[in-house]
Amino acid sequence: MSQRLSRRDFMKTGAAAGVGLALPRDVEATAPAVIVRRSRPVVVSSRNGHVYRHDGTLTCVETVFQEMTGGTDILDSVLEGVKINELDPGDASVGYGGLPNGDGVVQLDASCMHGPRKQAGSVACLEGVRTPSFVARAVMANTDHHLLVGPDAQRFARNMGFTIEDDLNSDDSRDRWLEWRRRIDPSRWPGEEDRERIGFLSGMEMVEEGLIDAEHYWGTINCNAVNSQGEVAGCTTTSGLAWKIPGRVGDSPILGAGLYVDGEVGAAGSTGRGEANLFNLTSFLIVENMRRGMSPLDAGMEGLRRIRDNTVERRLLDEEGNPSFNVRFYVVNREGEYAGVTLRGEGEYAVCTENGPEFAPFEALL
């Protein structure tokens, strides 16, 4: 007497029969292939990302590459890298020892974005914490917000367990501020007819005299990375414009300006004149250009053209009618293609791939 089949057994038998009918007898049935995305692992950053080592042997880009290829989370890897610059007083553009504002106070800004999780966090005008990038990540991980500022950002950092210091000046950063203060009264506000006396030009004199590294005067590190799974993350951290008006916030902590990451597309971040980048939200524009199919290089150059075309104030133009300042972008797409572009001049940026770290030349618009 035949055994009666349950509905579940019938469905299993039917499915098996269907497979048997669909395949030739000499072809073995196999499970569908799983498509795994593979990208070229790469880290790109501003030049200082392969200059400073703090107390270790690796630079920022080397550290990020080692961490992410070893299985560390993509954003955690980036932060471990930029932390080296934040803690090294030799890098006067970020973190501890960063060039202070007009009152001699080091105020720090930072932003970070995690592509796979589609999360972001930022802090601005943060005082007393050497690693603002990690506070930005804490904002991302522990709040429903993207940006905290000033004393309240510091209070948040304290509540998260960060050490708060009274003064983040190093001996060098304080000496440079005192030299600047000797040259110019920082309480004087510039008028249209006395531009020669503003603090900016006094700072430029110090750059020309070799007292300040030109790249440190604006001061920033941007670092973006993509791992072999095509996961993207980025961070921008800075002490901002040297001798800035207290409370001034540049582009670095503003999503879409100093940094933008889209996990499906890529990342872009910047250094240079933050106000020009803020006005155009250029990092967002560059990533959107890549979304539409542009290469990192073409997307970056188109972003620079937008800045050039929107700069019309006479005080910001050179004799040829072009912007007299500089802005640079560091761009990577999800496939691991990358580029560094600069509005004007020459220079180089840092890259690390499976072939090791190196400096690569910028492509210039002007």
- pLDDT digits 0-9 by tens, 190-216: 444 444 445 555 666 666 776 666 555
Q: Can you give the pLDDT at residue 28? A: 42
* Structural tokens at position 343: 């509005």
Q: Is residue 136 part of a domain?
A: yes
pLDDT computed for residue 136 by the predictor: 99
d(CA 128, CA 250): 19
pLDDT digits (tens, 9 = 90+) for 281-292: 999 999 999 999
Tokens for 219, please give them: 């001061």
Whether 189 is covered by a domain: the verdict is no
Containing domain of residue 116, as a range? 42-171+214-364
> Does residue 21 carry a pLDDT above 80?
no
220 assigned to active site = yes
The token duo for 354 is 């499976």
Q: Is residue 177 part of a domain?
A: no
Task: Tally the domains of the chain.
Answer: 1
Distance CA 137, CA 121 (A): 6
Q: Which of 63, 131, 220, 237 is catalytic?
A: 220
| 30 domain-assigned | no
Question: What CATH number is associated with residue 156?
Answer: 3.60.20.30
| Residue 189: C-alpha distances to residues 25, 50, 197, 305 (Å) | 87, 37, 9, 31
| pTM assigned to the model | 0.84
Q: Which CB contacts under 8 angstroms, 24+ apart, belong to 66-71?
A: 68/41, 68/43, 68/225, 68/227, 69/41, 69/227, 69/228
Residues 56-109 pLDDT 10s = 999 999 999 999 999 999 999 999 999 999 999 999 999 999 999 999 999 999
Quote the CA–CA distance of 123 and 140 in Å, as a whole number: 10
265 inside domain: yes
Work out the pLDDT band at 184, boundaries 50, 70, 90: confident
The answer as to whether 159 is a domain residue is yes
Q: Is the pLDDT of residue 179 over 90?
A: no
Q: Is it the case that residue 4 has pLDDT exceeding 50?
A: no
State the pLDDT confidence band at 261, using cuts at 50, 70 and 90. very high
Task: Tell me whether residue 337 is in a domain.
Answer: yes
Give residue 207's pLDDT. Answer: 66
301 in any annotated domain: yes
